[in-house]
């Protein structure tokens, strides 16, 4: 149960920041800069990571929603216990939920974190949760999953 609460808090933080960006920053505008490290720039993404599948927002939204349902089923059926596995699944779920809400409710994902020292796509809290969760899952698989 605690892992679901953590997931929902991450997704809520993601949605709050996205709401603030949508309410206060014009598309393409930068409102904060710590050059050469990071900038806060409003971008709307109708694709997936690195703008792949551009314009396929409904398909991506449905896939994200199905993934979230599958994670919930996994929690109910498998009842994972290992903290590293639980943390990884929670973070991936939170990120998928945050971006699914965007895709299905807005028709695009709100991105805003722009790393200024390399040429890299703009991203958001949900994207960070997915990447960190995937890294933790790989670490769990390497260290603990003997099957």
Percent above pLDDT 70 for the chain: 94
pLDDT in tens, 52-62: 667 677 788 88
Distances (CA, A) of 136 to 14, 90, 114: 20, 10, 23
Signed CA dihedral, 90, 4, 16, 97: sign only: positive
The whole-angstrom separation of Cα 8 and Cα 68 is 12
Cα 49 to chain center, whole Å?
Answer: 10
Which of 1-5, 95-99, 128-132 is the least confident region? 1-5
Q: Where is 115: in which H helix or E strand?
A: strand 109-115
- Among 94, 87, 88, 78, CA closest to 11: 94
Largest CA distance in the chain: 50
| Position 11 confidence tier, pLDDT thresholds 50, 70, 90 | very high
Catalytic positions, written as ranges? 111, 127
Listing from the earlier edge strand, what are the strands of the sheet with 38-45? 30-34, 38-45, 109-115
The whole-angstrom separation of Cα 119 and Cα 101 is 27
Percent above pLDDT 90 for the chain: 71
């Amino acid at each position: 149960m605690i892992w679901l609460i953590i997931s929902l808090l991450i997704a809520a933080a993601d949605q709050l920041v996205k709401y603030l960006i949508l309410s206060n920053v014009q598309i393409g505008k930068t409102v904060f800069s710590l050059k050469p490290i990071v900038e806060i720039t409003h971008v709307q993404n109708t694709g997936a990571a690195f703008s792949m599948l551009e314009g396929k927002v409904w398909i991506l939204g449905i896939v994200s929603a199905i993934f979230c349902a599958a994670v919930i089923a996994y929690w109910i059926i498998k009842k994972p216990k290992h903290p590293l596995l639980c943390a990884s699944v929670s973070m991936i779920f939170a990120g998928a939920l945050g971006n699914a809400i965007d895709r299905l409710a807005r028709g695009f994902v709100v991105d805003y974190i722009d790393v200024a020292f390399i040429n890299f796509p703009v991203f958001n809290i949900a994207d960070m949760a997915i990447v960190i969760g995937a890294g933790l899952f790989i670490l769990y698989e390497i260290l603990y999953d003997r099957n």
